Amino acid sequence: MRRVHVKEALDRASRVEGVCISLYVHAAPGGRGVRTRIRSQLQQAQRLVAASFGARRAQDLMNSLREALAFGFSNRESGSFAFFHNELETFWTKLASRPDDLVVVSGTFHVKPLLRDLSVTDSIGADLLNAMSTHRLVDRLPEIAQAIAEGRVEHLYVSGTTNIWGTVDRERGVINNVSPVQQSALDDCVLDDLSQMTLERHGQVTVLPDSAMPIDRKALAIVRWTPPGGGRGDPVRAVAQ
């Protein structure tokens, strides 16, 4: 199992599809408790894979991940870590930020915490105010998804604290089966999918904790243009200055 830089982890994770397991875990100094938490995450991941793809495939996939962790990661490490595993490769990275412990099994790797590590937040207030004044700020999730699919999103802001589960039709930008929890490996984090779609269409993504989102939304988008007769979302009343 190879350790990579956060940027390389994002690049590798964004190019992979299949049965993808993403683990995020924080270790106290000396690595105290990290093995126990990883063990619990692996059990959760195995249940999700088995429920959607069968017990045999889940067992094979988890055995190879456990072997990689045993030989490629020291339990004396401290800090926040992200592990990525599928049937072809396993890699990990160390994070500067501290996301909540999380396990995600889906058709793509979960990269939102990586994007949070790489986000630049200096000019958010000014950028959003300018977009609002020119009617280029969209704040409804269904409209944001459609705008991303159409290649209209210049900059996407999403919550790094909250995950919204469901499925996204990446061609049409339609969100389905929304749930507050992941119910199977067929579910993805909607905000994570929208972030990857934005990057694929040459947009920017900034991931923020809920407390830093300038208004009470889980996602905001600055669009390159607004189609005639729509696409503005709800009126935005308060943007941090």
User: Is residue 77 located within the same domain as residue 98?
Assistant: yes
Same domain, 39 and 55: yes
Asked if the structure places residue 229 within a domain, the reply is no
Let me know whether 89 and 168 are in one domain: no
Using one digit for the tens of pLDDT, what is the confidence trace for 19-55? 999 999 998 877 677 888 899 999 999 999 999 999 9
Q: At residue 58, does pLDDT exceed 50? A: yes
- What pLDDT score was predicted for residue 229? 64
How confident is the model over 168-214, as pLDDT tens digits? 999 999 999 999 999 888 899 999 999 999 999 999 999 998 888 87
Structural domain includes residue 191 = yes
Look at strands 2-3 and 90-95 and give their pairing: parallel
pLDDT of residue 239: 38
11 and 87 in a single domain? The answer is yes
Examine the domain organization and report whether 93 and 190 are in the same domain. no
Phi, psi of 161 (to 5 degrees): -90, -35
Domain count for the chain: 2
3-class SS string, 11-67: HHHHCCEEEEEEEEEEECHHHCCHHHHHHHHHHHHHHHHHHHHCHHHHHHHHHHHHH
Average pLDDT of span 74-84: 87
Supply the DSSP symbol for 166.
E
For the chain, what is the total number of helices (H) and then of strands (E)?
A: 7, 12
Domain boundary among 81, 111, 141: 111
Residues 89 and 11 reside in one and the same domain:
yes
Q: What is the mean pLDDT of residues 114-140?
A: 90
pLDDT above 70 for 236: no
What is the CATH classification number for the domain harbouring 152? Answer: 3.30.1330.30
Q: Looking at the domain assignment, is residue 228 inside a domain?
A: no
Give the pLDDT of residue 230. Answer: 57
In a domain, 22, yes or no: yes
Q: What is the pLDDT of residue 43?
A: 95
Q: Could you identify the residue written with the tokens 């249940």?
A: 47
Residue 21 lies in a domain: yes
Which residue reads 């017990």 in tokens? 55
* Residue 98 sits in the same domain as residue 75: yes
Mean pLDDT of 116-141: 89
93 and 169: one domain? no
The percent of residues above 90 in pLDDT, for the chain, comes to: 70
What's the maximum distance between 2 C-alpha atoms anywhere in the chain?
A: 58
CATH number for 76: 3.30.960
> How crowded is residue 233: how many other Cβ atoms within 10 Å of its Cβ?
21
> Do 83 and 146 sit in the same domain of this protein?
no
Q: Comparing C-alpha atoms, which of 219, 199, 203 is closest to residue 153?
A: 203
pLDDT at 7 over 70: yes
Same domain for 135 and 107?
A: no
Query: Does the residue 52 lie in any domain?
Result: yes
Domain final residue, candidates 73, 89, 111? 111
Residues of the domain holding 7: 2-111
104 with 139, same domain: the answer is: no
For residues 97 and 139, membership in a common domain is answered with no
Confidence of residue 233 (pLDDT cuts 50, 70, 90): very low
At residue 241, does pLDDT exceed 60?
A: no
The confidence score (pLDDT) of residue 50 equals: 95
Q: Which residues contact 68 (CB under 8 A, 6 or more apart)?
A: 1, 85, 90
Please determine, for residue 234, whether its predicted confidence score (pLDDT) is greater than 90. no
pLDDT, averaged across the chain: 89
Rounded average pLDDT over 67-72: 88
